[in-house]
Chain A
Amino acid sequence: MARIFAYIVHKAGIVDDSAAELIAAAKKIEAAASPVAVVTGWGTELDAVCETLRASYSEVWKVANEALAYPNAELVRQALVKVVPSGSIVLVPNAHFGMDLSPGLSIKLNSAYVSDVLGIDGVEGALLKLVRQEFGGQVSAHVRCDASSGAVLNLRPGAFKPQEAAPVNGVIVDKSAEVGALSAKRRYLETVVPEAGDVDITKHAVLVSVGRGIQEKDNIAIAQELADMLGAAVSCSRPVVDAKWLPKSRQVGSSGQTVKPKVYMACGMSGSFQHLAGIKGNPFIVAINKNPKAPIFQVADVGIVADILEFLPELTSKIRETKQVSA
């Protein structure tokens, strides 16, 4: 099997959790694999990242270049094309940077590309049997990838569980001289942080979170009434923000807020992995969805098959009754 490279995402000198997951994935391709970490960046932050990686990767390829101080996918691609040998398998975490980098990288390396890989189910010669999800996770598919001229695989964060391993005291190989001057037709300007919303959903112990099943803006009130009764806040999944029914600050997920409630009520949502990525701290998840096959039922603690537009008002009034009795 071809040599395996792991593209390391890092920020402010800290290695992203995905670095360990890429090792786990490499070992699924070849049990004895010892993947090479490839790290691009600049300055002391890059040095700190390489030092950290030496504990888990036996070989760390360092590409230092001032133009790579911010990870601009076009520049990173140019650098990788110069250092990664053709025919290699390159593993990249499938987050916003990987989505920017990898499709074009695969073209320039003349290799195959598969995005959002959840599993590696076997290898026959240069053929990889990969697992993906389609239609919002309603079905999975096996994908056969011919890696005979190399492959770039974007791996879903969290899908490959890192294994405990003894520190390896790896070597750092400086590849910077192979890269030379870099210039791009796309230039990074700045990062803009979101405006604070009216409600800080990250501070609530209970969230009533609504998805597409809420159906229209006026129905948000149904969730708000339940939230008021529970002392909770109303949060939501991406389609609700796309439809402008709630502001972006209420969105839970990898592109929205990360929340850590005690109880999370997932109402009328499918439970996409991008959404679930925003729920931390192992809350008690109640899923209510009229589709008994909704993927959210796989991850919830308790499931109820019901139309939220009927169920939530009934739940609200029952809680109100209960409170009045106990008062």
Chain B
Amino acid sequence: MEILVCVRRVPDTSENEIQLNAAGNDIERDDLVYSVNEPDNYAVEEALQIAAKVGGNVTVVTVGGEDDEEVLRREMAMGANQGVLISDDAFNGSDGKGIATILKTFVQKGKYDLVLTGIQAEDGGAQVGGMLAALLDYPFASLVNSISVLDGGKLKVSREIEGGNREMNEIDLPCVLSIQTGINEPRYVGMRGIRQVASVEIPTYGASELGVNPGTVGEAGAKVKRTDYFVPALGKGAEMLQGDRQEIIAKLIELMKAKGGLN
């Protein structure tokens, strides 16, 4: 099975406190630590497990710039067979549909049976997978938390729905799936693994190689645009317990007794 996984590099929220910049039009990006969008690791791991079971290749692709090569290499260190960078100044400022439009042209250049994305990016809208599927006229399933390969060009997938229930579906290949976190345990990538793929060449495609009409993507094609960031006015907010540790604990115990949390 030929599997394509779309990944993204995002600010790592476990490493950074996200704050506004002085102008309020963006987050403070100096000194941010970036890493691969966490849900994308689950998508890559799932692709690797499927390829190990039924045979095939795993390609990871990202739309971005030179800096984004590092996340491709990380996923190649996990075991992806190749990485592809899609990069062009004309792509800057693309909205979700723009990214999906660019990826569509790339998918059509290859012959992929299965396209995976992570469920959602930290700063994204859980949208590219569903849009890409619709542009390609492939079937789609979101929130996928298990996949098994059936005979006859089909998969059985479960979707995570409310209350821990799982919605079981049969889906024809080729298809696009957005992968929920927790579907597997993404393998660890050490420095040694990264070094082994450090010099592997990563092909880059631009608008002309892909045949993307620049007017449909980038800033020009974007109907949806983030204009500014802000920190919302807080609601009532919590009463913050102050003082030294022992005082805080004494207050908390009293409050818990009053609220029925401690007898």
Q: Which residues of A contact B158 (CB under 8 A)?
A: 192
A140:B232 contact, CB within 8 angstroms: yes
Contacts known (A142-B230, A304-B241); A212 close to B261, Cβ less than 8 A: no
Known contacts: A112-B223, A287-B238. The answer to whether A302 contacts B252 by CB under 8 A is yes
CB-based contact B171/A186 at 8 Å: yes
Is B134 an interface position by the 8 A CB rule? yes
Number of A-B pairs, beta carbon distance below 8 Å: 253
Q: Which of B138, B255, B261 contacts A230 (CB 8 A)?
A: B261
B142–chain A nearest beta-carbon distance, Å? 5
Query: B159 to chain A: which residues have CB within 8 Å?
Result: 96, 100
**Which residues from chain B contact A103 at a C-beta distance below 8 Å?**
96, 126-131, 134
Within 8 A of A (CB), among B1-41: 11, 13-14, 17-20, 27
- Once the chains bind, are A142 and B129 in contact (CB under 8 Å)? no
Q: Which residue of chain A lies nearest to B140 when distances are taken between CB atoms in the complex?
A: A104
Complex: A77 Cα to B142 Cα, angstroms: 14
Most chain B CB inside 10 Å of its own CB: which residue of A135, A142, A322: A135
Contacts of A284 in B (CB 8 A): 255-256, 259-261
User: Are B235 and A115 in contact, with the CB atoms below 8 A?
Assistant: no
Contact flags B229-240 to A (C-beta < 8 A → 1, else 0): 111101101111
* CB <8 Å contact, A108 and B240: no
Q: When the two chains form the complex, which single residue of A140, A189, A191, A286 contacts B156, counting CB atoms closer than 8 Å?
A: A189
From the candidates B129, B142, B167, name the one contacting A191 in the complex (CB within 8 A): B167
State whether B127 touches A113 (Cβ < 8 A): yes
Kindly state the interface size class of chain B when it binds its partner: 35 or more
Which has the most chain B C-beta neighbours within 10 Å: A112, A116, A139, A315?
Answer: A139
Report if B135 contacts A (CB, 8 A): yes
Residues of A within 8 A of B18 (CB): 134-135, 138-139
Q: CB within 8 A of A184: which of B139, B166, B224, B228? A: B139
CB of A257 within 8 Å of the partner chain: yes
A103-B96, A188-B169 are known contacts. Are A297 and B238 too (CB-CB below 8 A)?
Answer: yes
In the complex, are the beta carbons of A96 and B160 less than 8 A apart? yes
Q: A100-B140, A302-B255, A303-B239 are in contact. Are A143 and B225 (CB under 8 A)?
A: yes
- CB 8 Å contact bits of A179-204 with B (1 = contact, 0 = none): 00000111111111110000000000
CB of B206 to closest CB in A, whole Å: 24
Name B228's closest neighbour in chain A (CB-CB). A142
Whether B17 contacts A138 by the Cβ 8 Å rule is yes
B97 within 8 A of A: yes
Instruction: Say if the beta carbon of B202 comes within 8 Å of chain A.
Output: no
Q: Are B223 and A145 in contact (CB under 8 A)?
A: yes
User: In the complex the two chains form, is B161's CB within 8 Å of A96's CB?
Assistant: yes
Known A114-B224, A263-B259; judge A134-B252 contact (CB<8 A).
no
Q: Is B191 interfacial (CB-CB < 8 Å)?
A: no
A217 CB-CB contact with B under 8 Å = no
Which of B122, B171, B252, B253 neighbours the largest number of chain A CB atoms within 10 Å of its CB? B252
Given contacts A139-B27, A186-B139, are A249 and B223 in contact (CB under 8 A)? no
Interface residues on A, range: 35 or more
Which residue from chain B places its CB closest to the CB of A99 in the assembled complex?
B142
CA distance A244 to B182 in the complex (A): 8
Assuming the A-B contacts A242-B181, A263-B260, are A141 and B127 also in contact, with contact meaning beta carbons closer than 8 angstroms in the complex?
no
A190 and B185 contact, CB distance less than 8 A? no
Min Cβ gap B143→A in Å is 6
Interface residue A178 (Cβ < 8 Å from any Cβ of B) = no
What CA separation (Å) do A257 and B159 show in the bound complex?
Answer: 16
Who on chain B is nearest to A112 by CB?
Answer: B223
Closest to A303 in B: B238
Min CB–CB distance A227 → chain B (angstroms): 11
- A242-B181, A248-B164, A303-B239 are known contacts. Are A212 and B139 too (CB-CB below 8 A)? no
> In the assembled complex, which residues on chain B have CB atoms less than 8 Å from the CB atom of A144?
224-227
Is A161 at the interface (CB under 8 A from chain B)?
no
A251 at the interface (CB under 8 A from B): yes
Q: In the bound complex, how far is the Cα of B134 from the Cα of A225, in angstroms?
A: 50
A205 within 8 Å of B by Cβ? yes
Q: Are A297 and B181 in contact (CB under 8 A)?
A: no
B209 proximal to A (CB < 8 A)? no
Please name 29 pairs of A and B residues whose Cβ atoms are closer than 8 Å in the assembled complex, sorted by A: A96-B162, A103-B129, A103-B134, A104-B131, A113-B125, A113-B131, A135-B123, A136-B13, A138-B17, A143-B226, A144-B224, A146-B224, A186-B171, A186-B175, A189-B169, A191-B165, A205-B261, A206-B262, A230-B262, A255-B143, A256-B163, A256-B164, A284-B260, A284-B261, A297-B237, A298-B234, A298-B235, A305-B240, A318-B249
Give the 9 A-B CB pairs with smallest separation, nearest first.
Answer: A103-B130, A263-B261, A303-B238, A104-B134, A115-B125, A107-B134, A185-B139, A242-B182, A112-B223
